[in-house]
Each structure stands twice: as structure tokens, then as C-alpha cells.
A and B are shown apart, each in its own frame.
Chain A
Amino acid sequence: MTESGIVQVVFFSSVLVLYGVFAWMPVTRGPRAFFGVRVEPGYFDGAGKRVLLRYRLVLAAVFLAVAAIAAGLRPLFNEGIVLAGAEVLLGAAAFALYVRFASAVRPQATAGGATRFASSMRARDTRTRGWLDALVAAFVLLAFVVPVLAYDEMPLRVPIHWDVTGKADGWVDRNVSVILLLPALGAYLQFFLYVLRRDFAGAKMTLPADSTEAYLAAKEKYLQTNVDTLDWTRLTIAATFCSLSLLQMSTAVERLGAMEPIARAGVFLGGAALLGGITFFLVRMFRINARLQQQTGNDYAQRSADESHWAHGGLTYSNPDDPALVVEKLVGVGYTLNMAHPGIRNRLLLMSGIPVFVIWAVLAM
């Protein structure tokens, strides 16, 4: 398959996934969070069904329109940039549409949530994995050490882009900033993910007053799966970035040429393992909640005092009275951050590293 073919397959499959996620989100928790709002079952099965159908149709129309525009623009500009732009536009349009329908459903909101609830008395233990931390640190260090040691042997032109077969097809003048970009980005991502893992391990777990033990067992597994996802992401990203760095070195420096096939395999395997792993863990989390729902008739519990702090159709949570930084999402799978928590400022500051790296990349090339 050509590079363009692969880019298109990736684009269309990610668009399908995006559509699926947004189409399913309003009904994640049934009438308990229809577009993030608790509604009467009568409304959910009646007028609500029609609202849902209209939303899904409008969403599909918007997706088709953006995809058609992107297809039209594709021959005129750089294909990758057009499709990436279309992807971002689709995400923003889907979000806006979802929020718009959510505000239309909002007047149907009924009071609810728990005034009787439970909390676990088992000290929580989300396995910290020393071996994984060590392995990640080794990958990050290796990505720095090799270019520093090999710098003098590097030719005046170094590769910065590879085609789908892993053959270098873009080169720039050798300079420290372009050599250190990949290792630094890898190290930054690892620090970011490490902080995220620690935060997620302390996520909030409100339990309902009924079927409490069955619920607790399921949610402990759910949280562990989420932490496993982050650990897997840390490991595979570390391996991929280290391989990318080594691929760059082995393509540029003759003496390291033997390393090239290994580095190339590392990039492909690391990337595939990352995507495959995340899909596997997400499906697992989805199934844990589905089984819990079947078992106890409930897969989400929160205090009634917390329920009114969800906004944007249950996509964002902002509660200054809640000491939790990480809470389970009201709609969708996984966890989200309490935007009113004092710790949120540092996390956002940490995220601002992403544009810094984009600017670095543009300047270095």
C-alpha cells in the first residue's frame, strides 16, 4: 500500500470511530445521563428517542460534508495536513453539536443522585510496577545517550522523515536542536504520563448503598484497568520514541547502520502495540461496566450534590467542593479531571509543553 493509501485508511477509520463515539455517548448511562442529564424513563423511551435520532442524523450529515470538503481539497494541498485539519474540525463540530443537543435536553432534567452512598474501607492498591518505571527510564536515557555519543560521527545532513517502509525521505542540516527534539519530546511525554498515572491511581470511587460489594469489586477492576492502560501507554511510547531516535541515528551514522532494521521494527511494533493495547483495555473497561450494569442494574453512582456540577452534556466536571481531582466520566468510558480542583493549574501548565514542542519542531526544521 502507498503512503497516501495508508493515510486515507487511517483517516477514514478514525472518522468512523469518532462518529461511533459521539453517536453512542448520549446513551452511555441510559436515562440516568441522557446527554449528561438525568431524565424520566418515559421521556428517554419516547420524545428522547426522537431527539437522539435527529442528533445522529445531523451528526452524520456534518461528517459527510466535512469528509467531502476534505476530499475536494486533498489534491490542492498537502494531503496529511488537509486530513489532519478535517479530523480536528470534525472533533470540534461533533463536540459543538453534542453540547447544543445537550442544552436542548437540559430542561427535561429531574433531581436524583444518591443521598445514601458508601465508601470502600479497603486501602486501595493500584500496583506500582518498579520494573516498568526502570524500563521506561532506560528507554528515555538511551534515546539521549546514543545521539550525544554519535554526534561527531554524524554527517552534515540528518534524516527527519521516513516513508511507510521506514526509508528516510526528508533531510535537514545537522544541528543540536533537531537531534535532541525526539529524545526531549519522549522524556516530556513520559513525565506527563507519570503524573497522570499517579493522579488516576487516586481517582474517586463513590459506591451505591445497594449491591455495594459487587459494585466495589467491579470498580476496583475498572480503576486497575485504567491504570494498566496508562502503564501500557508509557511503556509503548517510551519504546517507540527510543526506536525513532535510534532509527534517526542509524540512518545518519554509518557505523550504527546495523541497528537500522531493529530500530525500524521497534517503531512499527511500538506504535501497533500502543494502539492495540489501548483498544484492548478500553473494550475491557466497557465490558466491566456492562457486566456490572447487568448484575446490579447500576454502573455509575454519585452524590446528588455532585450531579449538578457536570456541564457540556456531562463531558466536563467542575466542582470546587469536591476534593477529588480524577472522577469517572459521566458519559463515555474512563475518567476525567475536576476542573475546579486546585491541582488543575499545574496539570494545565504541564500540558502547555505540547505547543512548546510543536514550535520547537517547526524552528528546528
Chain B
Amino acid sequence: MHILIDESDPRPIYRQVADEIRRLIAGGALAEGETLPSVRQVAVDLGVNLNTVAGAYRELQAEGLVTIRHGSGAVVASRKTSTKDAGELRKPLQSALTALVLAGVPRDEIVSLVRRELRALTKSSR
């Protein structure tokens, strides 16, 4: 079980860390109650500042996905985020679909792309 970081990705590292952990939680690889590695371990392995990883963990905590307990580290609290309504969540999907349509990708291909991504995301979910 691991997260992937890409330095050529325009997203900042802390955002990539948070997104990757979200992916693992959504897919079920990180189950409820599971302990995340310490901020120090992830920062050392990635060679980034401790605050970068702490920032990602705090973001996940704000969304209700993990709880951070002093001393025992971060634990996956839930596989559902507590914030944001469906309307707001749809916005990034809309902009991604817009970009695909504008790029001239055929409709069928976009649909199968979405299916494939969704399948990959929930592949390991139980």
C-alpha cells in the first residue's frame, strides 16, 4: 500500500499526498480504524518538510476522513467525507468533462474512461 508523488504534476506535494490518501481510503485499501504512518515517516520517505505532510493530514482531518490523536497518530475515521453537498462535488467533475470534450475526445471514449477510472478507484474496495 503506497502513495505516488509526481514532481512534474502542477499540484503542490501536500495536495498530492492528501489526494493519494483519499484514493486509498475510497478504494478501501485503507480501512476504517487503520493507522496511517507517522507524519515523520512519510516526510522522511518523500524527502519533504514535515509541515507538508502535516498539512495533508490536517486537510483530511477537516474533511472527517481521519482523526489525529496526540501520541497515537492519525487513524482512518470514516470512508465518507462529512462536508460538501453533491452540487459542490459535481463541479470538478464538470470541469474535467469540459476539458475532455474541448480536447475533442469522443463521447463514448469519455464514458468508458470514466468507467475505467471508477473501476480502478474501487477495485480493492470490499
Give the B-binding residues of A (Cβ under 8 A): 115-124, 202-207, 209, 212-213, 216, 303-306, 319, 321-324
- Taking the closest CB of chain A, its distance from the CB of B113, in whole angstroms, is 21
Residues of chain B within 8 A of A304, CB atoms compared? 7
Q: Contact between B50 and A323 (Cβ–Cβ < 8 Å)? A: yes
- Taking a contact as CB atoms under 8 Å apart, the answer to whether B41 and A202 are in contact is yes
Given known contacts A115-B7, A115-B8, A323-B43, A123 and B36 CB-to-CB distance under 8 angstroms: yes
Q: How far is the CA of A344 from the CA of B119 in the complex (A)?
A: 47
| Residue B111 lies at the interface, judged by CB distance under 8 Å to chain A | no
Q: Are A123 and B41 in contact (CB under 8 A)?
A: yes
Lowest 6 CB-CB distances: which A-B pairs, in order?
Answer: A115-B7, A119-B45, A324-B44, A118-B2, A123-B37, A121-B1
Q: How far is the CB of A194 from chain B (nearest CB, A)?
A: 19
* Best-surrounded residue of B30, B37, B50 (most CB of chain A within 10 A): B37
Residues in chain B near residue A122, CB distance under 8 A: 1, 37
Shortest distance in angstroms between B7's beta carbon and chain A's nearest beta carbon? 4
| Interface residue total, chain B, C-beta cutoff 8 A | 28
Please indicate the chain B residues that have their CB under 8 angstroms from the CB of A319 in the complex: 47
CA A207 to CA B20, docked complex, whole Å? 15
Enumerate 30 A-B pairs (CB-CB under 8 Å) in ascending A order: A115-B8, A116-B4, A116-B7, A116-B8, A118-B2, A118-B4, A119-B2, A119-B3, A120-B1, A121-B1, A121-B3, A121-B37, A123-B35, A202-B41, A202-B44, A203-B44, A204-B45, A204-B47, A205-B45, A209-B4, A212-B2, A212-B4, A213-B2, A304-B7, A305-B7, A306-B47, A321-B47, A322-B47, A323-B43, A323-B47
Kindly list chain A residues whose C-beta atoms are within 8 Å of the C-beta of B30: 121
B73: chain A residues at CB < 8 Å are: 123
Question: Considering the chains assembled together, what is the distance between the CA atoms of A216 and B41 in angstroms?
Answer: 14
Q: When the two chains form their complex, are residues A116 and B6 in contact, meaning their CB atoms are under 8 A apart?
A: yes
Residues of B within 8 A of A204 (CB): 44-45, 47
Q: Are A120 and B38 in contact (CB under 8 A)?
A: no
The main secondary structure of chain A at its interface with chain B is: loop
A117 surroundings in chain B (CB, below 8 A): 4-5, 46
Is B121 among interface residues, defined by CB-CB distance under 8 A? no
> Is the C-beta of B40 less than 8 angstroms from some C-beta in chain A?
yes
Residue in contact with A206 in the complex, picked from B4, B46, B50, CB distance below 8 Å: B46
Q: Which residues of B contact A322 (CB under 8 A)?
A: 47
Q: How far is the CB of B12 from chain A (nearest CB, A)?
A: 15
Question: Can you list, as one digit per residue, whether each of B14-35 has a CB less than 8 Å from chain A (1) or not (0)?
Answer: 0000000100100001100001
The distance in angstroms between the C-alpha atoms of A207 and B45, with both chains bound, is 8
B interface, CB within 8 angstroms of A: 1-8, 21, 24, 29-30, 35-38, 40-50, 73
Q: Are B2 and A323 in contact (CB under 8 A)?
A: no
Q: Which residues of B are found within 8 Å of A321, using beta-carbon distances?
A: 47
In whole angstroms, how far apart are the Cα atoms of A212 and B30 in the complex? 17
Asked if A323 and B7 sit within 8 Å, CB to CB, the answer is no
Flag if A323 contacts B49 (CB, 8 Å): yes
Contacts of A323 in B (CB 8 A): 40, 43-44, 47-50
Q: Are A120 and B5 in contact (CB under 8 A)?
A: no
List the B residue with the shortest CB-CB distance to A215: B2
Please give the distance in Å from A105's CB to the nearest CB on chain B: 25
User: Beyond A122-B1, A212-B2: 12 further Cβ-contacts under 8 Å?
Assistant: A115-B8, A117-B5, A119-B5, A119-B45, A121-B1, A203-B44, A205-B44, A305-B7, A319-B47, A322-B47, A323-B50, A324-B44
Rounded to whole Å, the gap between the CB of B35 and the closest CB of chain A is 5
Chain A residues, Cβ within 8 Å of B8:
115-116
Chain A residues contacting B38 (CB-CB under 8 Å) are 123
Contact between B40 and A202 (Cβ–Cβ < 8 Å)? yes
Name the A residues within 8 Å of B43 (CB-CB). 323
- How close is A266's CB to chain B, nearest CB, in angstroms? 39
Q: What residue in chain A is nearest B2 (Cβ atoms)? A: A118
A122 vs B21: C-alpha distance when bound (angstroms)? 11
| Contacting residue for B46 out of A119, A123, A212, A216, CB 8 A | A119
Give every chain A residue within 8 A of B35 (Cβ-Cβ).
Answer: 123
Give the CA-CA distance A118 to B44 in the complex, in Å.
Answer: 12
For A116, the chain B residues whose CB sits under 8 A away are: 4-8
B45-A206 in contact (CB<8A): yes
Nearest chain A CB to B33 CB, angstrom units: 13
Residues of the A chain whose Cβ atoms lie less than 8 Å from the Cβ of B1: 120-122
